[in-house]
Amino acid sequence: MSDIIQLLPDHVANQIAAGEVVQRPASVVKELLENAIDAKATAITLVVKDAGKTLIQVTDNGVGMSVTDARLSFERHATSKIKSAEDLFNLNTKGFRGEALASIAAIAHVELKTKTADSEIGTHLTIEGSKVISQEPAVVPKGTTISVKNLFYNIPARRNFLKSNTVETRHIIDEFHRVALAHPGVAFHMLHNGSDVFNLPSSNSRQRIVNIFGSKTNEKLVPVSEETEILKIEGFVMKPEYGKKSRGEQFFFVNDRFIKSPYLHHAVNSAFEGLMKNDVHPGYFLFLEVDPHSIDINIHPTKTEIKFDDEHSIYAMLRATVKHSLGQFNIAPVLDFERDKGFDTPYEYSKKAPTAPTIEVDRDFNPFKEKPKQANIKFPFNRGKESSWESLYVGLKGEIETSSFGTTQQAQGRSLSAVEMEFESEEVTGNLFTDKETERGQTTFQLQNKYIISPLKSGMMVIHQNLAHQRILYEELLKNITVKEAVSQQLLFPLQLSFSKPDVAIIEKIREQLENTGFVFSELKDETIEISGIPVLILESHVVNLLSQLINDIKEEVPDSGFSQNDMLSKSMAASMAIKTGVSLNSEEREHLINQLFACKEPSVSPTNKPVFITLDVNELDKKFM
């Protein structure tokens, strides 16, 4: 029998490795940005075209590479970060496996320009599909510029699995956030299709968070700080009132490396217990420093998962630290019965220096110059008489109404006159134990403020009120977007809303569809949205939540254009605007909801293809009692 096992060629092995390292354009961005950080760069520029499918270029002012290093950097398992197996447990850098550049070069056209500070001339290297096309001297500035073009050009199947440009851009921005937040001392600049997305100067952690997520973020942050022998925690958590239904603004960093840890996430959630609703998630930016020997980061291809030696202690410390910060800044209630809030220093005066009070004295004041004012007081009646209380009624005309007492009051043989007296009483609105829902002739009933029950000839029908209202709103919104006949209600005072730059850019893309639903935007700029009109179907107080949920839905998955995008917008807005579970409806509202539902084209299913109602036959009910 002949031998059947053989070694794979290098270019095939590199493509297989690329399947783990490079899953999408965002993976390339992550690897290149981390390489620039390891090169001790203080300014990094990221240029992206067509969501990274056409071009990803990273320019840094780091140490650069020599001619030999530039060539060896694209070989498999070639790295400057580690030299022995023991170094894997004492890592202070980002990349260390030596697979990133080799994997990227196997599936794209790569161009490298680099120069060290000591060299007079740099190196220009061109690689296509793991094959070196050219390597020649070039006049380039200090640092490194690497361009990745036509990603997955030689693996069309992988390219076909990429999502839309909007989704891929979101993933790139997520990776950019993770690197930029971990290194606030490094200046970052990001451009997409020629327009600025982020321009972040060198700053501290708090300012970096504000520069990325908008100026309004500053007032939402609560500082977190603690240092022990095994763990140091720094960072910020969001105030409970700014919690979101999505898990967007949640960042864990261990030794300046972004990680995902459901275990530590649970620790933060437990610290917010009792302060937030069940379906709302807190935002946090937490930086943990531990001994590199106590963690193992080489357990996942993307190095986003870490194994701790003593994770139970870290869980307890993290939970206690976050809870202490919430209590320290009066976010969480404090159980102290002796504490008087009246003595608390107002927040606006807490950082001001105390000033001595000024005292003014009237030196000409003499209390004996004039008679005391008390001598001129005249009492309206004589207190010495026995019937002094009766003198209060002297001069009053009218007779006392005796309807309440049944007799006419008299005192000491003399009849007293008094004004008519009226007694206030609460309006009687009905018997306390009478429920209007059970009046004779009622046709619909509400169960647990969630279901509407309507009798049928053959049994009864149970309608889910939230899903029913979603179907009604979905068809109406979709009609308004396509036919453009929506009615808008003008606001007396325009709404000023603050979002991050990427979020405002998302609203700008779907502005026309939103205006067709009834929104009127008077201004859209960097981090501010001004709304002067809203659809008649929603309340002014619900606009912020509706737009936030809409932005999150678009970030998750948005079609490119056309009817599919309108369909997604209608579904998202209908879910945000629909009647929620727990809302009580009166008889007229229930009847109106049912009539609207059965006027829809598809009343039996919700926009997400869930059943809106079910019917129970009398025979089915009879079987329950057999």
pLDDT in tens, 415-427: 444 445 555 555 5
The residue-averaged pLDDT of 167-180 equals 90
Which of 241-245, 450-454, 517-521 is the least confident region? 241-245
What's domain 446-614's superfamily in CATH?
A: MutL, C-terminal domain, regulatory subdomain (3.30.1370.100)
| Inter-axis angle of helices 501-509 and 165-182, nearest 10 | 170
Mean pLDDT on 384-394: 56
pLDDT higher than threshold 60 for residue 517: yes
**Which residues are bridge partners to 461 per DSSP?**
454, 615
Mean pLDDT (whole number) for 389-416? 50
Which pLDDT tens digit goes with each residue over 568-583? 778 888 888 888 888 8
Q: What is the pLDDT of residues 304-362, one digit of tens each?
A: 777 777 888 889 999 999 998 888 776 665 555 565 556 666 656 666 777 888 888 88
Each domain of the chain, given as residue ranges in start order, spans 10-200, 213-328, 446-614
pLDDT over threshold 70, residue 384: no
The predicted pLDDT at position 370 comes to 65
**pLDDT digit string (tens) for 40-75?**
899 999 999 999 999 999 999 999 998 888 888 888
d(CA 578, CA 494): 24
Asked whether the beta carbons of 261 and 252 are under 8 A apart, the reply is yes
CATH architecture group of domain 10-200: 2-Layer Sandwich (3.30)
The pLDDT value given to residue 519: 87
What's the pLDDT at 410? 46
How open is the CA angle 316-321-324, to the nearest 5 degrees?
125
- Top-confidence residue, 486 or 603: 603
pLDDT tens-digit profile of 84-137? 555 555 555 665 555 778 888 888 999 999 999 888 899 999 999 888 899 999
Phi, psi for residue 555 in degrees, rounded to 5 = -65, -35
Residue 326: what pLDDT? 87
Q: Which two tokens stand for residue 72?
A: 């060896």
Task: State residue 433's pLDDT score.
Answer: 37
Bridge partner residues of 224 (DSSP): 235
Identity of the amino acid at 396:
L
Two domains, one topology: 10-200 and 446-614: no
Helix axes of 465-483 and 587-597: crossing angle, nearest 10 degrees:
50
State the average pLDDT over residues 588-609.
Answer: 89
Rounded to an integer, what distance in angstroms lies between the CA atom of residue 391 and that of residue 382? 8
| Torsion over CA: 128, 132, 134, 135 (sign) | positive
pLDDT for residue 437? 44
Which CATH code for domain 213-328? 3.30.230.10
